[in-house]
Amino acid sequence: MDYRHELSRLIDIDGVSREEIEKLITVPKESDNGDFCLPCFRFAGLLKKSPVVIAKELAETITASDTADFLSNVEPKNGYLNFYLDKSDFNRRILEKVLSEGDAYGASDEGRGRTVCIDYSSINIAKPFHIGHLMTTVIGAALYRLYKFLGYNAVGINHLGDWGTQFGKLIVAYKKWGDEKDLENRGIRALLDIYVKFHKCAETDDSLNDEARRWFKRIEDGDPEAVALFDKFKEVTMKEVDRTYKRLKVSFDSYAGESFYNDKMQPVIDELQEKGLLCDSDGAKVVDLSAYNMPPCLILKADGATLYATRDLAAAFYRKKTYDFYKCLYVVAYQQNLHFKQWFKVVELMGYDWYKDLEHVAFGMVSMEDGAMSTREGKVVFLEDVLNRTVEKARAVLDEKSQTLENKDEVAEVIGVGAVVFSALYNSRIKDVVFSYDRVLSFEGETGPYVQYTHARCTSVLSRAEITENVDYSALDNPDAVAVVKAIAAFPDALSDAVRKYEPCYVARSVMAVCQAYNKFYFEHRIIDAPEEKRNAMLILTKAARQVIKTGLSLLGITAPDKM
């Protein structure tokens, strides 16, 4: 049952549509004030009555009706109309719905016919896939899964950083100090070493930078040797990052990076010129944004070279033409706030109303406990190394606490990787995160292992008894059980909130709420020893909780183990 919808059908206010009433119905902060409530303050001016009187009159009308059999009480209080659900009816409806829908519980078709492009991860070719890429990768991938789950046509785009002078630098470095066997054995780490060496040497020998620019020009011109080296670096990079993507359960529909838009920028530049938006600034071409309290958006350097904004504009026009998106999301750190505001404004000034469908999904930075990182200086923490270390630590915990567990390596991989992903998605995305191995791997508190362990606990309970036909839902007429059912019932709304606000943390927190409520229920109530009909009800509750935990973790990109 859609309780908000059914409650709105009980309320008749002249001049107010049922759709408006339904949107106003909410869940009270305090459970003592009912399961749902309707604030009546909005109607005071229209009805020329106080909210207190309006709530009282509505309560009397509903109480006199025989159509609210799913309610146990309706109570006016301080201008609010509070609704109390019949708990047995509520429990039965929610749990039967979860069991009948299974993996589809929480899914919808709200996005039918709408395409959402999501630009995330966007790693740089020949540079480390490091801990700083964690947030964009897992947030973007979670949104991708969520949009698909809610019926949207989601398009995952890895806008590869595969263009720029740095490739000229890398070719110079490789020709001077590179080693084919070392590259085969160590991949990106070998490229990083010579890249760092280039920058150190260039500090005292500026001719290296001139040579790098010449090599990049050769890439632009299609020189066979330059392109072959460029392709080699790209192949090495993708081979390594694909391994990490597989561990993180991350996938993409497009790897169209910066180089893909090389021949698509000129039409955009021409249109900007035709519409009188380009201005000269010391030889460079810019769009003046001073009227909007922003610095100018740089389109072309004085030497005619393009920039990130030029390529982002070309990419946006290509995506609109190719996918006709409903939304186009850019999952990029908050340091780029100005960049996106600038070129979004340029699209608006060009006269395209779809500028409002471009969204910068900003997030905070991830750093290690021992400080910041710099690719040029070689101070980086490879994401693969972080995953390996968390898996090793998880394996050590399993060796200590779960000595008889089979497939320990597989379970350790699931726990270790899941711990990293959950830690990145549990808090609001805009917060900066300091990564701590001990904290993310804790089996207590608001962590991935805690959620995974709860799933394993539910599986263990269900393996010890079979659910038979006769069910006495009165076994769930207690605050602990109702709290679990309420948390389960809130899951679909959490998914909608997550896509509406681009916040996967709503899903993580909803799953955590189910886990915390279930664990409290588990410790306070005997399940297996209860009489059959009551035991069936508690087993159904357990099965529904496990389903929501599994689905929620899956949407976040985390595996739910049956044993730990």
What are the strands, taking DSSP E only, across 59-166?
71-77, 80-85, 115-119, 153-157
Contact 419, 561 (CB under 8 A): no
Q: Which of 133, 159, 327, 360 is catalytic?
A: 133
Per DSSP, helices labelled H in 203-336 are 207-220, 224-248, 266-274, 308-323
Q: Has 199 been annotated as catalytic?
A: no
Q: How far is CA 19 from CA 5, 25, 43, 44, in A?
A: 8, 10, 14, 18
Distance separating alpha carbons of residues 155 and 31, to the nearest angstrom: 40
Neighbours of 110 (CB within 10 A): 13
Q: Has 246 been annotated as catalytic?
A: no
Q: Which of 56, 87, 130, 234 is catalytic?
A: 130
**Phi and psi, residue 342, nearest 5°:** -65, -55
By CB atoms closer than 10 A (0-12, 13-18, 19+), residue 45 is exposed
Q: Has 130 been annotated as catalytic?
A: yes
Q: Which of 87, 127, 360, 486 is catalytic?
A: 127
Geometric angle at alpha carbon 323, from 288 and 230, rounded to 5°: 75
**Phi and psi, residue 117, nearest 5°:** -90, 135
Per DSSP, helices labelled H in 30-83 are 44-47, 51-64
Q: Please write down the long-range contacts of 177-185, taking CB distance under 8 Å and 24 or more positions apart.
A: 183/232, 183/236
Rg (CA), the chain: 28
Distance separating alpha carbons of residues 389 and 411, to the nearest angstrom: 14
DSSP assignments along 168-207, one per residue: HHHHHHHHHH--HHHHHHHTHHHHHHHHHHHHHHHTT-TH
Residue 123 is classified by DSSP as P
Helix (H) or strand (E) holding 461: helix 448-463
Strands 327-331 and 115-119, sheet pairing: parallel
What residues are annotated to the active site?
127, 130, 133
